[in-house]
Amino acid sequence: MNKVEAMKSVKDGLEVLRDIPEYAAAGWESIPEGERDRLKWAGVFFRRQTPGRFMMRVRMSNGFSNADQFRVLADISDDYGKCFGDLTTRQQMQLREFGIDEVPDIWERLHRVGLVSLQTGMDNIRTVVGCPVAGLTPNELVDASPVAREFTGMFVGNREYTNLPRKFNVAITGCLDNCIHTSNQDVALTPAIKEISGSELTGFNVAVGGKMGSGGYTANTSLDIFVSPEEAAEICGHIALAFRDHGSREARNKVRLAFLIADWGAERFRAEIESRAGRPLLRAGKDAGKPGQTDHIGAFPQSTPGFNYVGLCVPVGRITSDQMRQVAALADAYGDGAIRITTGQNLIIPNVPDACLPALEAEPILETFSHHPTEAMRGTVSCTGIDYCHYSLIETKERAVETAQALEQMGVQTGKISLFWSGCANGCANHALADIGLVGKRVRVDGQILEAVDVYRRSKSVVAGKPPAPVMTNVPCGELPSVLGQMLSEENGEIC
């Protein structure tokens, strides 16, 4: 039994909710070292870089938030943290640097505005991602956000789902413009049309067993199942529980759902899901997704005539508490208070009437959070990096912004491009799925240790059946803008 399984066998992860008031009263040093990981069931993360100052991951299904929530997150960051938060690639917010004694009050404030941090780490179903303009964009087959919410409601706080063999990532989307990465998710529901006796049903095709870590990127496998929106959450539940009951619990790097799918094959897994559902399920429908990808940055008309959503680029997802309040004020003044978070660590203000659009576009905050960012900044995503993550070998967020700015200043024609930075090979920023993926490392040059990266190029790095391979290794971060500038200039025209 691996270490984590041994820890889980003592008591369920959610039992930590009973321990937290005690830890809060007695101070962080009272938390036994072996119990630190259990805090992640509560969404509270011990950070080795800042002992005693914790991180909290706040769940926002489908990236849906609102002005009241942003104001509360801003107040918490001011009162207990360092006056900022991080938007993540799973469409949620991470709060930083608070004490364990402050957790009860933070939770109370979060609960008042409908937010929870439960089960956002370790062997749980992480925040369900989806199209951030679900229900707004004319380019969707179905509004999948109710399914994301329904499924989330099934597993949050439910101990049936709190002892999976490993983390479990779910994406549910009806967007035809491929605005989220679905191939690397343990479960992906993507828009599909099923023809039955001459009539067309709209719903989702189901794929399972994608992953990024644990040996690298594996694209998920079609289960050859079509589900209607009404049965979609139920089927996601059966898949998670099949993983719970049949997934390996041996070596931690070989237990993601991908390994069970590789072992069983899609057919046997489908039979298991049908047996849990107690009925045969329809075979996959016609994939409805269009070619290409989008990030929803910019101003776009919604399906309701006269209304628009405005996608704002938040460089590397870092947002100060003042900026959170400014965004909340924008959402209240020009929209209906709704705020959405994208998987590119950016924000969307929905429901802006045509008449209000020019005034919104003239707001000073849009100089920082632009809706017309440069291509390099628009495509830049970064993991936390060395400031808060002890795995990191480099500083990521500042370097990512500086590199994007340097490419702009050098006049490099990047074209539409994604630049994803991971501080280490764990690859939390999905480097293998980027046009250019950067993975931090340290190199010795002339006796000096320098921060450096390996460079991945999606078009050349990802070969089916093989782990992604870098196209350049050991590039010192200081040289990166010129190295990337040269690479892109040489390739000019090749990027799409």
- Closest chain position to ligand HEM (CB): 213
Based on CB atoms, which residue is closest to ligand HEM, 122 or 236? 122
* Neighbour order of strands in the sheet with 298-301: 64-66, 338-341, 347-353, 307-312, 298-301
CB under 5 to 8 A by kind: which of ligand SF4, ligand HEM, none does 422 bind?
Answer: ligand SF4
Which range of residues in 294-302, 324-332, 422-430, 452-460 is near ligand HEM by CB under 6 A? Answer: 422-430
CB under 5 to 8 A by kind: which of ligand SF4, ligand HEM, none does 92 bind?
Answer: ligand HEM
Is the dihedral angle over the CA atoms 182, 186, 189, 192 positive or is it negative? positive
Q: Report if residue 426 touches ligand HEM, rule: CB under 6 A.
A: yes
Return the C-alpha torsion angle 286, 288, 290, 294, nearest 10.
Answer: -140
Q: How far apart are CA 178 and CA 176, in angstroms?
A: 6
Q: What beta strand segments (E) does 331-379 contain?
A: 338-341, 347-353
**Which backbone phi and psi does 97 adopt, to 5 degrees?**
65, 45
Long-range contact set of residues 246-251: C-beta below 8 Å, sequence gap at least 24: 246/272, 247/164, 247/165, 247/166, 248/165, 249/1, 249/2, 249/5, 249/165, 250/2, 251/2
Which range of residues in 75-83, 162-170, 265-273, 417-425 is near ligand SF4 by CB under 6 A? Answer: 417-425
Contact 248, 256 (CB under 8 A): no
- Of the candidates 389, 434, 455, 462, which one interacts with ligand SF4 according to CB under 6 A? 389
Based on CB atoms, which residue is closest to ligand SF4, 285 or 385? 385
- Of the candidates 428, 452, 455, 462, which one interacts with ligand SF4 according to CB under 6 A? 428
Residue 276: name the closest of 244, 252, 241 by CA: 241
Give me the least distance between CB of 422 and ligand SF4, in Å please: 4
Q: How far apart are CA 406 and CA 40, in angstroms?
A: 37
Q: Report if residue 391 touches ligand SF4, rule: CB under 6 A.
A: yes
Based on CB atoms, which residue is closest to ligand SF4, 341 or 389? 389
Which range of residues in 157-165, 189-197, 265-273, 387-395 is near ligand SF4 by CB under 6 A? Answer: 387-395
Question: What is the three-state SS of 51-89?
Answer: CCCEEEEEECHHHEEEHHHHHHHHHHHHHHCCCEEEECC
Q: Report if residue 419 touches ligand SF4, rule: CB under 6 A.
A: no
- Of the candidates 121, 210, 285, 423, which one interacts with ligand SF4 according to CB under 6 A? 423
Residue 423: name the closest of 459, 452, 463 by CA: 452
Q: Report if residue 401 touches ligand SF4, rule: CB under 6 A.
A: no
Q: Report if residue 383 touches ligand SF4, rule: CB under 6 A.
A: yes
Q: How far apart are CA 378 and CA 87, in angstroms?
A: 14
CB under 5 to 8 A by kind: which of ligand SF4, ligand HEM, none does 213 bind?
Answer: ligand HEM
Let me know if 444 is exposed, middle or buried by CB neighbors in 10 A (0-12, 13-18, 19+): exposed
- In the region spanning residues 94 to 133, those forming contacts with ligand HEM, defined by CB under 6 A, are 94, 126
Let me know if 127 is exposed, middle or buried by CB neighbors in 10 A (0-12, 13-18, 19+): buried
Give me the least distance between CB of 88 and ligand HEM, in Å please: 3
Q: Which residues pair with 6 in a beta bridge?
A: none
- In the region spanning residues 132 to 151, those forming contacts with ligand HEM, defined by CB under 6 A, are none
What does the block give as tokens for 304? 């309701």
- In the region spanning residues 207 to 236, those forming contacts with ligand HEM, defined by CB under 6 A, are 212-213
Which range of residues in 234-242, 251-259, 300-308, 383-391 is near ligand SF4 by CB under 6 A? Answer: 383-391
Give me the least distance between CB of 387 and ligand SF4, in Å please: 10
CB under 5 to 8 A by kind: which of ligand SF4, ligand HEM, none does 335 bind?
Answer: none
Let me know if 420 is exposed, middle or buried by CB neighbors in 10 A (0-12, 13-18, 19+): buried
Based on CB atoms, which residue is closest to ligand SF4, 342 or 384? 384
Residue 326: name the closest of 349, 308, 352 by CA: 349
Based on CB atoms, which residue is closest to ligand HEM, 47 or 82? 47
Q: Which residues bind ligand SF4 (CB under 6 A)?
A: 383-385, 389, 391-392, 422-424, 426-428
Q: Which residues bind ligand HEM (CB under 6 A)?
A: 47, 55, 57, 88-90, 92, 94, 126, 212-213, 384, 388-389, 391, 426-428, 430
